[in-house]
Amino acid sequence: MLKKYKNGFLQIIEESGFHANQFRAVEKEVDNHPGFILQFVNSPLAFLTRTNSTDYFEHDYRYVQFAPSYPKSEYKPANDWCLIDGVYEGFKYWLEKHVHGYLEEIDIPDLWSQIERQNLFVDDPMINRSDKGFDKAEKERVVLAIEHFKRLIEVEYKPTEEQLEVINDRLGYLIESVDRLNKVDWQGVAISALMSISIALSLDTSKGRELFNLFKSAFTSAIEFIG
């Protein structure tokens, strides 16, 4: 591939919000044609451009897709060649759909996995699965714990007004649920509320775990009423 064409990929990488050091360039022959491969480092994703062995200005391309088992696409255009601009358009599409999609997936915390790994309450007082409702004293203690949890969130994460609106809505619903749900069902609502708050705050896996720990901390003094 001509050097000016290879350099064109660098401009697209930067314009797409990536950095050149996130890619590794490899040149090798692929099916009897010169190939230029851009590997997205530390991932299975790669983009291959071939140059017609008899014409510097004719190319085709294929790429590894962000999909189960990371399959390779067919060569594009099919059974034909295109100019470098066509390759660049394909590269932009690959970055936007497949590389961005891959990064989004590995960055988003697996909230269900977090719940699997952690007991919501210290020493799991729910282990006996009481189906009783809260009495008056228990309700008061739980409401105080939720209000304390909200203050901890505000100090720890400094939420925006929009995020705070979600937090208030979820915690408000949690408080209302104390009056009408038994303790087992209320725990399910609490887990759902924590997941919604974690998403609203855009927390990664580590920060999401900290949020669950804050909730535990806020409820330490109220634990006996939740089991």
**Model pLDDT for residues 175-198, shown as the tens digit of each residue:** 998 888 888 888 888 888 888 898
| pTM for this entry | 0.53
In this structure, are residues 139 and 146 in contact, taking their beta carbons and an 8 Å threshold?
no
Amino acid at 222: A
* Six-digit token string for 215: 């909730």
Residue at token pair 């190319």: 59
| Distance separating alpha carbons of residues 84 and 49, to the nearest angstrom | 9
Least confident of 29-43, 104-118, 138-152: 104-118
Residue 50 pairs with which residues in a beta bridge?
35, 60
Angle at 147 between CA 144 and CA 149, to 5 degrees: 110
Residue 127 has pLDDT above 50, yes or no: no
Q: How many CB atoms lie within 10 A of CB 88?
A: 18
Confidence of residue 12 (pLDDT cuts 50, 70, 90): very high
Tell me what pLDDT residue 126 has: 40
Confidence of residue 123 (pLDDT cuts 50, 70, 90): very low
From 49, 104, 55, 57, select the one nearest 73 (Cα to Cα). Answer: 49
Largest CA distance in the chain: 85
Confidence of residue 137 (pLDDT cuts 50, 70, 90): confident
Backbone angles phi, psi at 61, to 5 degrees: -155, 160
Does the bond joining 77 to the residue before it have cis omega, within 30 degrees of 0?
A: yes
| Distance separating alpha carbons of residues 40 and 102, to the nearest angstrom | 10
Confidence of residue 134 (pLDDT cuts 50, 70, 90): confident
